[in-house]
């Protein structure tokens, strides 16, 4: 059980906690072939812009992988790092960019009749939440989670849409602020490795000499729809890079019909919707899934059991792993999930856990439905041992999705 002083209980009515079932006792078919991702479809994407007002480029574009010459010497990470740019830049409604990107991307693709309501979405979530739930299930099933542990504990905030079916899961972090990397801590090289091996795609490069603000793209996210078992997911995830190659902008037809459209993001129209603070610019392309890459840097062996769920829940087809000693990279490996023996073994382990994940998500939705929490968020917390607990949230300031978005589900 969580200590009353635990930071993840901040803003919760901790006296009214409700425990969920322990997962090994659930009646699930661990051998069911239906418990795997099916009907995977990318629906939208966007790149955050580094500016004071929340602004995204839709559909945006990932950074481009540039194969470096080895050995590669890079400095350790420094400056600021983000745990979750969606929470930092759009703190009142971290899920809003997800929905905005799907709407605008589908329109840019010509699918003007697209409707989320017709997709019958059960779960809207970040990939990070699914990874946390899998770690919990893995710990409980293996019997290793015998005591509360702040290194394992987590919180996921949940909100039921007005349709009574769709559960929206919001990622929770102890702090949504940018974090200054502590030079006193052991050096890390992940951010520097990404910076040294990737570059901004030409379609999003800031144009020098233009009037007005300069739009520097930062984190790139994709939104995909898929099924696991009898649940349909809408999942957002961050992408590190993509293979290089020619791209065609999804708004090429708009540019062709409007030869006066200025080139460069700085001179393109910044659009708003209703009373939302989130702005968007149309630019970039919805990159094909086979070009998406995950980057890892390590000085030891890779943790395949952690990497596999990250690749799987986004269906990322390429992993680039750089190996270094004190920032000198001497080897970069390319791994494909269906060709790597370690990833194949980790996938089988994950496949056995997916039925428990589906059962857990259904429990979470049932709790929200049972207590008539439609539109009012609950927090699901895990102490690192035993079952999750559900808490009422005192302040709902982080759950201000425009009503038209909630009604669109």
The closest alpha carbon to 101, from 159, 43, 49, 41, belongs to: 43
How much is the mean pLDDT over the chain?
A: 85
What does DSSP say about strands 271-272 and 167-171: parallel, antiparallel, or unpaired? Answer: unpaired
Residues 6+ apart with CB under 8 A from 201: 61, 62, 63, 64, 247, 284
- Rg (Cα) of the chain, in Å, rounded? 21
| Cβ atoms of residues 196 and 68 within 8 Å | yes
Q: Cα separation of 290 and 313, whole Å?
A: 15
| Cβ atoms of residues 300 and 321 within 8 Å | no
User: Which one is predicted more confidently, 77 or 320?
Assistant: 320
Q: Cα separation of 181 and 99, whole Å?
A: 31
Hey, what are 127's tokens? 């990939």
| Residue 261, preceding peptide bond in cis (omega within 30° of 0) | no
In this prediction, residue 24 carries a pLDDT of: 46
Q: Cα separation of 85 and 88, whole Å?
A: 5
The band of 251, judged by pLDDT with boundaries at 50, 70 and 90, is very low
Domain assignments of the chain as residue spans, ordered by start: 7-408
Hey, what are 275's tokens? 């009373």
Mean pLDDT within 301-308:
94
The closest alpha carbon to 34, from 223, 167, 231, 166, belongs to: 231
104-130 per-position pLDDT tens digit? 999 999 998 999 999 999 999 999 999
User: Quick one: what percent of the chain has pLDDT higher than 70?
Assistant: 82
Q: Cα separation of 245 and 52, whole Å?
A: 32
| Cβ atoms of residues 235 and 224 within 8 Å | yes
292-298 β-sheet, strand order: 72-73, 328-335, 318-325, 292-298, 241-242, 64-65, 198-199
The closest alpha carbon to 295, from 203, 189, 408, 166, belongs to: 189
| Cβ atoms of residues 321 and 303 within 8 Å | no
In this prediction, residue 189 carries a pLDDT of: 93
Mean pLDDT within 24-38:
67
């Amino acid at each position: 059980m969580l200590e009353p002083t635990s930071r993840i209980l901040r803003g919760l009515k901790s006296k009214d906690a409700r425990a969920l079932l322990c997962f090994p006792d659930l009646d699930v078919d661990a051998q069911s072939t239906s418990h795997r991702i099916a009907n995977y479809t990318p629906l939208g994407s966007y790149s955050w812009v580094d500016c004071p007002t929340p602004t995204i480029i839709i559909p945006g574009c990932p950074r481009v992988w540039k194969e470096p010459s080895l050995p590669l010497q890079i400095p350790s990470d420094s400056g600021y790092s983000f745990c979750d740019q969606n929470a930092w830049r759009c703190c009142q409604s971290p899920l809003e960019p997800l929905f905005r990107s799907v709407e605008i991307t589908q329109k840019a693709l010509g699918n003007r009749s697209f409707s989320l309501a017709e997709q019958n979405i059960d779960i809207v979530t970040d990939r990070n939440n699914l990874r946390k739930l899998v770690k919990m299930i893995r710990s409980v099933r293996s019997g290793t989670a015998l005591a509360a542990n702040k290194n394992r504990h987590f919180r996921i905030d949940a909100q039921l849409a007005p349709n009574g079916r769709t559960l929206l899961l919001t990622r929770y972090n102890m702090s949504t602020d940018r974090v200054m990397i502590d030079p006193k801590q052991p050096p890390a090289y992940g951010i520097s490795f990404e910076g040294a091996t990737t570059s901004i795609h030409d379609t999003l490069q800031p144009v020098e000499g233009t009037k007005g603000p300069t739009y520097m793209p930062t984190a790139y996210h994709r939104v995909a729809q898929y099924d696991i078992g009898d649940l349909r997911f809408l999942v957002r995830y961050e992408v590190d890079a993509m293979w290089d190659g020619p791209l065609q902008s999804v708004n090429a037809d708009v540019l062709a019909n409007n030869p006066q459209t200025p080139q460069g993001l700085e001179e393109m129209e910044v659009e708003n919707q209703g009373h939302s603070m989130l702005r968007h610019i149309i630019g970039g392309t919805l990159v094909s899934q086979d070009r998406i890459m995950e980057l890892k840097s390590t000085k030891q062996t890779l943790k395949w059991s952690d990497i596999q769920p990250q690749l799987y829940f986004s269906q990322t087809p390429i992993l680039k792993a750089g190996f270094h000693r004190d920032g000198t990279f001497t080897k970069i490996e390319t791994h494909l999930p269906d060709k790597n023996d370690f990833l194949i073994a980790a996938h089988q382990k994950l496949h056995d856990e997916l039925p428990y994940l589906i059962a857990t998500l259904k429990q979470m939705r049932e709790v929200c439905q049972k207590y008539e929490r439609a539109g009012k968020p609950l927090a699901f917390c895990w102490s690192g041992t035993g079952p999750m607990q559900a808490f009422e949230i005192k302040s709902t300031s982080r759950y201000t999705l425009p009503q038209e978005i909630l009604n669109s589900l």
